[in-house]
Chain A
Amino acid sequence: MLFHLVLLILALSSAQQPVSLDPLVRQSQEAIQAGRYSEAREKLRQALKHDPRNPVLWSYLGLADTQLNDVDAGITDFQKALLFAPQDAQTHFNLGLLYRRKGHSQKALEMYQRGLGLDPKDAAANQNYALLLMETGKFREAIPFLQKLRALGVTDLSVSVALIESYLKAGMNEEGKREIQSLLQSPTVSSMDQLKLAKVLVEDKQPEAAQLVLEHAVRISPESAEAHAQLGQLLANKDQYEDAAREMGQAVHFSPEVADYSMKLAEILILWKHYPSALEFLAATKNRFGELAEYQYKLGLAYFGLHQVPQAIAVFENLTQTHPEVDLVHFFLGNCYQTTGDFEKAEPHYKRAIELNPQKASYYAALAQMLRKQSKDRTEEATTYLERALLLDPQDVQSKLELALCHEKRLNYPKAQSLLEEVVQQQPDLIASHVALARVYFRLKKKEEGNRERSIIAQLEAEQQARKSQPEKPPEFPIR
């Protein structure tokens, strides 16, 4: 953009300068071309003393100041240029650019709007204006400018992506889908481009659109492992594990040597709670990937999921030796030991996980729960950890409930009551919180409130009972 500006200025300058300023202007041009912006600025300032109403010189100076990261000065310079050449579209565009850089979106938009009024066919300006509109949430307004880019011959994939995004975010889903279809059918768009598009859509939180693209990609390139993998990952993110497993399985099938695909498939099977299948798959890929930390980690999770806790412990313990800095491993090892009741072994691993990743609220909550269960004497310590968890995630229901239970254990019933009342508001169907609150009310001799909670508990339990007594549906798919 700025290079474009430079050329324009150079072109203009040669036609406009008076003979007496020529050396200064020429020197400043040379300096700019050579990237010697400080020198150019000096020369231009001197030139402007002689010709202060020269818009070109002001534009030059704006360029130099901008290159020297003095955006405020650059804005002032271009404002001066505009004062003396108000019909110059490019100056408008330059100001738009600089206002955007300063975060003054509204001013930037105005500049682009005015500039495009003067020169509606400037592709770069149209693109920037459209993007600015998108940035400020004006997706519907951005659409005509993106379409104009097409008309101006700009066929870059990024324009299509921006157009798709704008359609979808403006609620014009049909148009968005049509645009996607159109893009996908375009002979100029390679499958690599499609995958890039899908990635962008995912990052842009447009999973439905991304799914359309990927499903198309796997249709036209059924042997593309990457397409299957991306689709599998997207489906897993939507908790559609069966489909995700199928797609990722295809990725593995076509590229069995790619560790990422195999590890992701193992992860999907684990998230899907198909632990035996995960174990089977990991066993089958042991020769290829068995040495990877990621493999060992998934193996541990699969064992843990199957309640094969001693095996899970063995795997995680080994991982802590080979990869002592992985917080998740320590966390799960803590969970394993807590499951077996070996709190003494669990504790250092939880603490190590926290040390390695102090931003994970769930680590503090898990450690705190273990401490509370271990002994009344450790509830104060547990409380400290839970307070940290709540600093990280003030709305976390589990941490609040756990903290309330700690307060209860320490006979601090008013504090427990206050927290539990928040929890039951946040998650009214969590029976355990009502039970704890009822207990606390009774301890505080608040019989009426306690009995009210009892009624709520009875209601929730009856609903739970009714749900669980439904006849089983036969499985809809074979398990093996």
Chain B
Amino acid sequence: MPTMFRVGRLLLFAGSILLPSSPITFREVPPSESKITWVHENGHSDKRYLPETIGPGVAIFDYNNDGWMDILFVNSGESAFFHPRTALRSALYRNNRDGTFADVTEKAGLRGNLFGMGAAIGDYDGDGFQDIFLTGYGKSMLYRSKGDGTFEEVTESGISPPGWSTSAVWFDYNNDGRLDLFVCQFVDYSSLRSCGLANSYGGKIEGIPEAGTYYCIPRIFAPMPSHLYRNDGNGHFIDVSKETGILDSAGKGFGVVATDINQDGYLDLFQANDTVANFLFVNSEGKKFEEIGLASGVGYSDDGVTRSGMGVDAADFDEDGWQDLFVANVDQETFSFYHNSKDEIFTDLSKSHGIADPTRLLSGWGVRFFDYDNDGFADLILANGHPDDLVERRMRGVTYKEPLLLFHNQGDGKMANVSSLAGAAFQENYAARGLAVGDLNNDGYPDVVVGINGGAPLVLLNNLSNKNNWLGLKLVSTIGNPAAVGALIKWSAGGQVHSRLKTAGGSFLSSHDPREILGLGTGGKVDWLEIRWPKPSTRVDRFTDLPANKYLTIKEEMGIL
């Protein structure tokens, strides 16, 4: 059997496009079944204020530590340009463990009113309970979990990003074992400008009547620097944007992921910017960040032009041991699939690896590398939708609502578009924005939740029945940061070795299930598992004789709990 398996693997590598062995289905769970009745209010107006078209973000996390993933949806609210008649709120849904969810927002104390964008989840105070940072236009909010299913707003945290914040990520930049916070700033939108056709996303096409206003293309607004806040360990944060060099780079940040691109044990940041060059902040020993987007090849397209970077993610998609990067752009730009060529240089393999053509007419937001079929290789999912709700007036072939995309990793980093096999939800079009991946029913197959602008969210349960085995891990650092961000996980199943870096952030305005699901393929079981804990730890733990199809909690220094 193992011999035949190896031959099968060889055939996989040698062949052209291969479809997964059995049909895959993501089943959409309707509100009537999930009991998730929340709907995003985008505050749409005739003035078309730009923030209206950007949200919402989604977070999948276990707010009450019962071992089941809950869901947070971020809503818009009171702002300088939007005054809802009734107070709007974000929504926290507790997982009832039976396929339904209960709205516990009020009970949890999440009453904040802001024109929300996204959510970043992290246990910043190390008490074992996840805290929430909400970004928004003109305001952001930090909620600390009290450990009893409720949250308190922390008003004097020191975290005060000005203006319009979008995606954020909790990660430990200086390896002191505490989660710090990086917050993307978008543009200077203090003018609250509305735009005509000439400054719209699609631009002016002579002869098209200029009825009303259009969402402005971000190109016309000034860029803003993002912010980095250092966790002082006492519940307070210090703005270290200037001293770390983050403030030197003004961008239009939409998405950010923390990952280690040069294997030095310090987490770097990849920030997607809309209409300005993307930033790759390389962490220099936890003291400073050097921005090398241009030099590394991820800042601009190959042709030397900026694109509209939105959602991002990082993963080692070709399993060469180096973290690769992904950026979703807007229509006509194709999305970027950056292969890490080492030496802090990246090459866009979008065309050769199957990404460019399916994404040519799409605008991507939420994105995640994840192994949906547990074959051990990182697949890819994308949530798409054009930012301009009037785009169809001007352009054939580009629509406001767009389909989701699912790509299957062929085992060598090349991606096959398997959307047509992914289920009915993939044949529909949405104004999709945020996307979070998490195992909602603890069956080991990652599910997906998508935020829809101005609509009800999409809950997609992974119904795959290929029966690839898996192993779920909840990692708890004791020396390094509590989320174990930066941990390097290696495992072997059936003789096939995989590795995965535990990154943080990614997607768009969203936060994922913090657990790691390791696909074992048809190998059946884990030959061995190795965890290299994040710095400042130097510990490497190795495990054998592990069960399959189970979640394990592994705590640094203590082993499997």
Contacts and interface: CB of A to CB of B under 8 A. Distances in A.
Contact of B207 (A275, A309, A401, A433): A275
B15 interface: no
B351 to A, nearest CB: 6
B206 A479 contact: yes
- The winner among B207, B208, B397 for most chain A CB atoms within 10 A is B207
Nearest to B331: A307
A405 B397 contact: no
B294 interface: yes
Interface string A264-286: 00000000111111000000000
B304 A433 contact: yes
Interface in B277-335: 294-295, 297, 299-300, 302-305, 334
Interface string B337-375: 000000001000001100011001000000000000000
Contacts of A450: 295
A319 interface: no
Interface string B64-91: 0000000000000000000000000000
Contacts of B294: 435, 438-439, 442, 454, 457
A315 to B, nearest CB: 14
Given A306-B396, A310-B397, A479 B304 contact: no
A468 interface: yes
B302 A405 contact: yes
Interface stretch (B43-51, B136-144, B191-199, B376-384): B191-199
Contact of B396 (A307, A465, A479): A307
A395 B397 CA distance: 37
B199 A472 contact: yes
Contacts of B219: 465, 468
Contact of A435 (B199, B206, B223, B304): B304
Interface in A412-457: 431-436, 438-439, 442-443, 450, 454, 457
A153 interface: no
A473 to B, nearest CB: 9
B220 A469 contact: yes
B220 to A, nearest CB: 5
B528 interface: no
A239 interface: no
B393 to A, nearest CB: 11
B424 interface: no
Nearest to A478: B209
A469 B206 contact: no
Interface in A293-309: 306-309
A465 B220 CA distance: 6
A341 interface: yes
B221 A479 contact: no
B113 to A, nearest CB: 31
A307 B393 CA distance: 12
Contact of B220 (A373, A435, A436, A468): A468
B487 interface: no
B205 A276 contact: yes
Contacts of B302: 372-373, 405, 409
B305 A442 contact: no
A475 interface: yes
A409 B348 CA distance: 11
Chain A interface size range = 35 or more
B222 A276 contact: no
Contacts of B114: none
B196 A472 contact: yes
Interface string B180-202: 00000000000000011011000
B210 interface: yes
B395 to A, nearest CB: 5
A443 B294 CA distance: 11
A439 B292 CA distance: 10
A375 interface: yes
Contacts of A373: 302, 351
Nearest to A280: B207
Contacts of A273: 205-206
B300 A435 contact: yes
Contacts of B209: 479-480
B208 A479 contact: yes
B276 interface: yes
Contact of A475 (B210, B352, B356, B394): B210
A341 B207 contact: no
Given A276-B207, A465-B222, A469-B222, A375 B351 contact: yes
A432 B351 contact: no
B509 interface: no
A436 to B, nearest CB: 5
A461 B207 CA distance: 30
Nearest to A457: B294
B303 A432 contact: yes
Interface in A381-433: 401, 405, 409, 431-433
- The winner among B300, B334, B395 for most chain A CB atoms within 10 A is B300
A340 interface: yes
A275 B303 contact: no
A316 B358 CA distance: 24
A277 B295 contact: no
Nearest to A420: B304
Contact of A480 (B205, B207, B300, B351): B207
Contacts of A255: none
Interface string B207-239: 111100000000111110000000000000000
A326 to B, nearest CB: 25
A296 to B, nearest CB: 19
Given A276-B208, A436-B304, A469-B221, A307 B295 contact: no
A274 B352 contact: no
A108 B288 CA distance: 80
Nearest to A241: B206
A266 to B, nearest CB: 13
A362 interface: no
A432 B305 CA distance: 6
Contacts of A206: none
A442 B300 contact: no
A76 interface: no
Nearest to A447: B295
A479 B196 CA distance: 14
Nearest to B343: A443
Contacts of B199: 468, 472
Contacts of B303: 405, 432
Nearest to A451: B295
Interface in B392-418: 394-398
24 contacts: A273-B206, A275-B205, A275-B206, A275-B207, A276-B206, A276-B208, A277-B206, A306-B205, A306-B395, A311-B396, A373-B302, A376-B352, A405-B304, A432-B300, A432-B303, A432-B305, A438-B294, A439-B294, A442-B294, A443-B345, A479-B207, A479-B208, A479-B209, A480-B209
Given A276-B205, A307-B397, A374-B351, 5 more contacts: A274-B206, A341-B334, A433-B304, A435-B305, A472-B196
Q: Which 7 A-B residue pairings sit nearest by Cβ, starting from the closest?
A: A432-B304, A276-B207, A435-B304, A442-B295, A274-B206, A308-B396, A341-B357
